[in-house]
Amino acid sequence: MNDSPTLSLLRRWHAGDAKALDELIERDLPWIRNIVSKRLGPLLRARGETEDYVQDAMVRALNYGPSFLVSDQEQFRALLARIIENTLRDQYDFHAAEKRGAKKQVVKAPDSVITLDPPAPTVQRPSKLADGREQEAFVRLALELLDPEDRKVILLREWEELGFPEVAARLGITESGARMRFNRALPKLAEKVRLLRSGGLSSIV
């Protein structure tokens, strides 16, 4: 069975074909820009030209985000739109926090490409066989699919390694509220990972 155009472009991009990235951007940027602009509204418009910000965020998402393969163009667009929304929110939060001395971090994606299409019925791959890099890729992608509040508290606690007093201060809530939010977010993250592993992307984007 031949690859879909979306899957073919992603395979080429992950194999190092820069032209494939150009084709993905040219094909899907207008749709993604329209969706992201509607969802972010004034936040995005206040920062400049929508197209410039979204295009830059799309390139960053594909370069530094978790590497994935998906055949469905609709799911690809929806997933990229979510990642780009989060990228722009992070940039906004970074600029808002500059006066607090926050440091911007760009994390390179794990050296692993994860397949998000449903597995073939005859193929079973236990999670215990997946290596650490693949697990990290699934976790990072699942983070992009969380609600903004859940994603933020996990990033502050796990990626920035802040204590709960600092997390609470950044979120503008009490320390006990930060702990509660973090403890509630972790099971949601685990469920997103489970759905991604089982090929359930369409149910969460």
pLDDT (tens digit, 9 = 90+) per residue, 158-178? 988 999 999 999 999 999 999
Q: What is the pLDDT of residue 112?
A: 53
Q: Give the closest residue to 71 by CA, choosing from 119, 19, 133.
A: 119
Nearest-angstrom CA–CA distance, 39 and 31: 13
* pLDDT for the residue numbered 38: 77
Half-sphere exposure of 152 (CA within 13 A, CB side): 21
Q: What is the mean pLDDT of residues 84-111?
A: 60
Which pLDDT belongs to residue 8?
A: 93
pLDDT of 4 > 70? The answer is yes
- Listed in order, strand segments (DSSP E) in 24-156 are 67-69, 113-115
Out of 3.30.450.40, 2.60.40.10, 1.10.10.10, 1.20.1250.20, which CATH number does the structure's domain 126-205 have?
1.10.10.10
**pLDDT the model gives residue 198:** 80
Considering the chain, tell me which residue range(s) the CATH 1.10.1740 domain(s) occupy: 1-109
Rounded Cα–Cα distance for residues 7 and 181 (Å)? 37
- Using DSSP, state whether 68 is helix, strand or coil: strand
Q: Which residue has the higher pLDDT, 149 or 38?
A: 149
Q: What is the pTM of this model?
A: 0.67
Which fold is adopted by the domain 1-109? Rna Polymerase Sigma Factor; Chain: A (1.10.1740)
Task: Please give the backbone phi and psi of residue 67, each rounded to the nearest 5 degrees, phi first.
Answer: -80, 125
> Looking at the chain, which residues constitute the CATH 1.10.10.10 domain(s)?
126-205
Q: Is the dihedral of CA 73, 79, 82, 85 positive or negative?
A: negative
Tell me the residue type at 194: R
CA-CA distance, 89 to 161, in Å (whole number)? 19
pLDDT bin (cut points 50, 70, 90) of residue 121 is very low
Considering the chain, what is the average pLDDT of its residues?
78
Extract the tokens encoding 87: 């990228």
